[in-house]
Structure 1
Amino acid sequence: MAGSKFAYVRNFELPDPLLPGTFMILRIDGHAFHRLSEEHNFAKPNDERALQLMDHAARDVMTEFKDIVLAFGESDEYSFLFRKSSTLYNRREAKILTTVTSLFTSSYVFNWSKYLSDTPLKYCPSFDGRIVLYPSTTVVRDYFSWRQADTHINNLYNTLFWALVLKGGQTTTQAHAVLRGTVSSQKHEMLFSRFGINYNELAARFRKGSVLVREEVSTETEGVDGLEATPLPVSEEVSEVVSSGAPRKASKKKVRVRTTIELCHCDIIGDEFWNARPNILAD
């Protein structure tokens, strides 16, 4: 950029680097999504189409930013975990925050019609975001445990609340009054005794949220006579004789590792998920 006498104004820009050697978690939240869900007639207590749209936007973010190894979503929020060693945009907070949040928002709007084709978008949705740094793997796991526990608590409440309103004929004020002071076991009992709903049989997507994880997939490759190897499925075998009938020279097999982004609705509070994927919290 060419210099000028006005360039001094750049001196007012303050650096905002994030502390190195720490885990970054960027959480995106929908702005005024209660109104958005009302204006667009989202199904209660959960609209699977809207949740799938959130998953799509989160996947687009992970596809663009390879340093994100895990994402967790519920309702109108998504949390993204960056690998500890990430140097994305030199760890400039404003740059990371604004770019990820804007990409998520634009993907949400762009793909709206794919999931809610019968519901025209009436106005522009928006999301806010924040980045929080966490010093250890223990705290990172506790963060995601907190978000999944929150998913369960909110969904259990909302499932019973909307059952009271939509099936029980109560007003929203009456439903809130009925639920005030109740504990989890009481909500389970009320759902089953009044409405025949076994909460534990509801879709895992609603009870556990969405987990997007970058999984490593290994494939074998084989090269002959110095030619570039062609990727092959691990289970696929290659003939040892070429078309001319001449013996084929010994080939060298290589294992190539690629990553895919997998969506699951599973428990991330216990050890099983993390023990099976040690790369998530590796440096």
Structure 2
Amino acid sequence: MWTIIGTSKFCATVRFGVVKRPLASLFTCSRAMAKSKFEYVRCFETDDTCLRNCYIVVRLDGRNFHKFAEQHKFTKPNDNRALGLMTRSARSVMEELEDVVIAYGQSDEFSFVFKRSTTWFKRRASKLMTHVTSQFSSSYVFYWKEFFGEQPLLYPPGFDGRVVLYPSNRNLRDYLSWRQADCHINNLYNTVFWTLVQKGGLTTAQAEERLKRTLAAEKNEILFSEFSINYNTEALLHRKGTALIWEKTEETITKRMKLPNEEEEKDVNVTRSRKRVQAHHCDIIGETFWEEHPDILEDDG
């Protein structure tokens, strides 16, 4: 029997002889066995760990979605089926990555905010971005029929992603405010543009020329004076976009169980609290939303 009686960093002295090889080699495992002379290539990998104490935002945008929308005959200016599918895909991401505290989406984009203290994937930007992008893209294909019925998906959509860090609550809120302001600007333009085309009889080129250099007030006036449309009564989904957050909900289920002092099992209603992803179509630029949902942000201190 071989018994180790003394060790050093480089070799082990064994009764009946000295093992002239590294001590670690005496205790091999599959991972060690897998090492090879080619492993040096790992040195070319770059460190993409996200800075600590920052909110990590992964924003996805549809790639060539103008063409995708045309070929799939999306309704103009807004297709509720497409918007619903985007929201369902975003919910899938949040249910998979529970450290996402809020997601905001409009048109063909969605932003996912990881809490400042997250340690998912060791905060590696590439891991977070690729996981969010792949989960969202696959969900978009998976849930297509739920929203478009028998209309076929002609080809798989593509989404590109980016990672941005925001160190303070103010920075993060300003980012989300920027995206919602963008939603308002784009939706107002598209609403007027397609109203001029669909109801005003203009060509797309004529509608574009008509709206050149017009301000928001002028666009609102065109809608109201020429088509009796009050933009402020348009659907909140279209004007404000969609914010997804975690909220506690009470749910009642029926369980069969044996109660104390009872001989037979009975069906009993049990109420429990669970966190679920809920959608909000509201203003997130002002204070009200954040005061009503204080758990979204972590203290700056």
> Aligning the two structures, in what range does the TM-score lie when normalised by the shorter sequence?
0.7 to 0.9
Alignment correspondent of 2:176:
144
Which residue matches 1:9?
A: 41
Whether 2:79 is the aligned partner of 1:40: answer no
Structure-to-structure mapping, 1:51-130, within 5 angstroms: 51-130=83-162
**SS of equivalent residue, structure 1 residue 128:** strand
Q: By how many angstroms is 1:119 displaced?
A: 2.2
Q: Return the offset for 1:272.
A: 0.7
Matches within 5 A, 1:179-258: 179-217=211-249, 243=261, 258=274
Structure 1 residue 279: deviation in Å? Answer: 1.1
Residue type of the alignment partner of 1:29: D
Which residue of structure 1 lines up, in the alignment, with residue 292 of structure 2? 276
CA positional deviation for 1:257:
6.1
SS in 2 for 1:191: helix
- The offset of 1:258, in angstroms, is 3.8
Residue type of the alignment partner of 1:280 = I
- Per-residue deviation, 1:34: 0.3
1:161 match? 193
Q: Secondary structure at the match of 1:18?
A: coil
What CA deviation, in whole Å up to 9, does each residue of 1:50-99 have, x standing for no partner? 00000000000000001001001100000111111001100011111111
**Sequence identity percentage:** 52
- Residue 232 of structure 1 and its aligned partner are, at CA, apart by 7.4
Work out whether 1:264 is the aligned partner of 2:269: no
Mark the runs of 5 or more structure 2 residues left unpaired by the alignment.
1-30, 254-258, 263-271
SS in 1 for 2:165: strand
State the shift of 1:160 in Å: 0.4
| 2:191 matches 1:175 | no
Aligned-partner residue type, residue 198 of structure 1: N
Name the SS of the counterpart of 1:35 in structure 2: helix
**Per-residue deviation at 1:149?**
0.9
> Using the alignment, how far apart are the partners of 1:200 and 1:48 within structure 2?
18
- CA distance in 2 between counterparts of 1:92 and 1:25 reads 12
With a CA cutoff of 8 Å and minimum separation of 6, indicate the structure with the bigger relative contact order: 1
Q: Distance in 1 between matches of 2:252 and 2:181?
A: 41
Q: Distance in 1 between matches of 2:248 and 2:288?
A: 17
Q: How far apart, in 2, do the equivalents of 1:15 and 1:29 lie?
A: 25
Offset of residue 243 of structure 1: 4.9
Cα 1:117–1:232, aligned 2, differ >3 Å: closer, same or farther?
Answer: closer
Q: Could you tell me the TM-score, scaled by structure 2's length?
A: 0.80
Aligned twin of 2:52: 20
Q: Return the offset for 1:192.
A: 1.4
Aligned to 1:223: none
List gaps (5 residues or longer) in structure 1. 220-230, 234-240, 245-255
Structure 1 length-normalised TM: 0.85
Deviation at 1:242, TM superposition (A): 5.7
1:122 to partner: Cα distance: 1.0
Using the TM superposition, give the Cα deviation of residue 184 of structure 1 relative to its aligned residue in structure 2, in angstroms.
Answer: 1.1
Query: What secondary structure, in the 3-state scheme, does the structure 2 residue paired with 1:53 have?
Result: helix
The amino acid across from 1:185 in the alignment is A
Q: Distance in 2 between matches of 1:61 and 1:242?
A: 42
Report the Cα distance in structure 2 between the residues aligned to 1:189 and 1:269, rounded to whole angstroms: 24
Secondary structure class of the residue paired with 2:295: helix
Letter in 2 for 1:90: K
Q: 2:21 aligns to what?
A: none
Change (3 A) 1:173 1:77: same
Amino acid at match of 1:121: L
What per-residue deviation string (whole Å, max 9, x for no partner) do you get for residues 91-111 of structure 1?
011111111101100100111
